[in-house]
Amino acid sequence: MDALVTTLQAEKSHSTQGLCGKLIQNVMNQLLSTEQDQAQLIELLPLLLSVWEGSTEVTACCLAHLKACIKTLDSTPSDIFLFNCWRIIKQIAEQEIDDKSKKMLTAVVCQFLKHKMPTGLYREILTGISSIMEKMSTPIRLADFLSESFNIGGAISLMSLHGLFILMHKFNLDYPDFYKKMYSMFEPQVFGAKYRARFFHLADTFLSSTHLPSYLIAAFAKRLSRMCLHAPASGAHIAVPFVLNLISRHPACEVLLHRVSGAEVLDSDPYLEDEEDMSKCRALDSCLWELQTLERHYDPTLSQKAKKRQIQEEDLSVILDNTSSDIISSEAKKIKGEVPMTFIKPSGLEMPETFVL
């Protein structure tokens, strides 16, 4: 592959367009192997495409051959072929393509996604689909794929959230019960998820609208506060400012922090944690006593955050990737060189004269 690219670059001044069609077909046949992982060769594909001046036409030629190969597949293609195919699609989507190629890319992606994928490839597709959607002529055709992925639950739902957000934000996709589904995703294990930072960033974006009803915002704030009681310190560091951001955007929810009516001590929390319907979970009737509990947290920084409860917008991007190691390192830097251990420096084993039994 290296030798081929070097040769074509040397012959760039001559007409190589006659070789283009047959050459691309042979190269694509090699890359779309059903038995050998061609990841290293596929990484060199952009170099090959850049050799020709009319690279958009060459890209279209690759897509046409790819589309023909996918159409002729049997019902159960090999996992290796599917991985090779997806990596070629990603490499082509990174190139500059014209409108004709965008339509062809859309057809190739939709045809490819009809096949049953191995779990590893399925996750790889969900994490990379957002960059490919930008080059597709009609990304809305991915609505069914992303909606079904979002309904699966667990890590798959987390990974499909970004692509679904693009369709809702830029292409006016109407997804019924979206917030109800996202509400169910707020569980303690989300703090240990690999895609935690992306999830909280997107959740913060989804809940940033001031037109959302107060009961919905209160339900998210209450559920996340309850999760803090079981979360690691790194997760609670994200959750507390997240909750305060929600309240700062929706003043009607300040009653959760400053409830002045009713009994000072509640025998039970009116919030129904197991209720899936946010309009019936009675979050607005409750209060965020969980934040008061966090005032006694072993992490002094988190304890201070819970005590201040500043109702103002805070940028979450600087803390989304924080881990427990980062928190420990930060606290270790605050320790002074000399720490007093006793009031009277001992000179030996004898008791001081002022000591009283």
**In whole angstroms, what is the distance from residue 135 CA to residue 94 CA?**
8
Q: Produce one character per residue of 279-316: b if its CB has 16 or more CB atoms within 10 Å, e if not.
A: eebbbbbbbbebbeebeebebeebeebbeebeeeeeeb
Which residues are CB-contacts of 66 (< 8 A; sequence separation ≥ 6)?
Answer: 28, 32, 85, 88, 89, 92, 108
What is the pLDDT, as a whole number, of residue 337? Answer: 65
Burial 345-356 (b: 16+ CB within 10 A, else e): eeeeeeeeeeee
Model's pTM, two decimal places?
0.75
Q: Are 211 and 249 in contact (CB under 8 A)?
A: no
pLDDT of residue 173: 86
CA 114 to chain centre: 24
Mean pLDDT by 10 residues, the chain (357 residues): 79 56 83 90 84 73 88 82 93 87 92 90 91 91 92 85 88 85 88 85 87 93 92 89 91 80 66 91 90 87 82 79 80 70 69 61
CA 234 to chain CA mean position, Å: 17
What is the maximum alpha-carbon separation in the chain?
Answer: 104
Please report, to the nearest 10 degrees, the dihedral formed by the alpha carbons of residues 166, 167, 171, 172 taken in order.
Answer: -110
pLDDT of residue 97: 84
What confidence score (pLDDT) does residue 265 get? Answer: 61
Determine the Cα–Cα distance for residues 101 and 104; give it in Å rounded to an integer: 5
Residues 92/131, Cβ–Cβ less than 8 Å: no
User: For residue 143, what pLDDT is reported?
Assistant: 92
What does the alpha-carbon distance between residue 289 and residue 264 come to, in Å, rounded to a whole number?
11
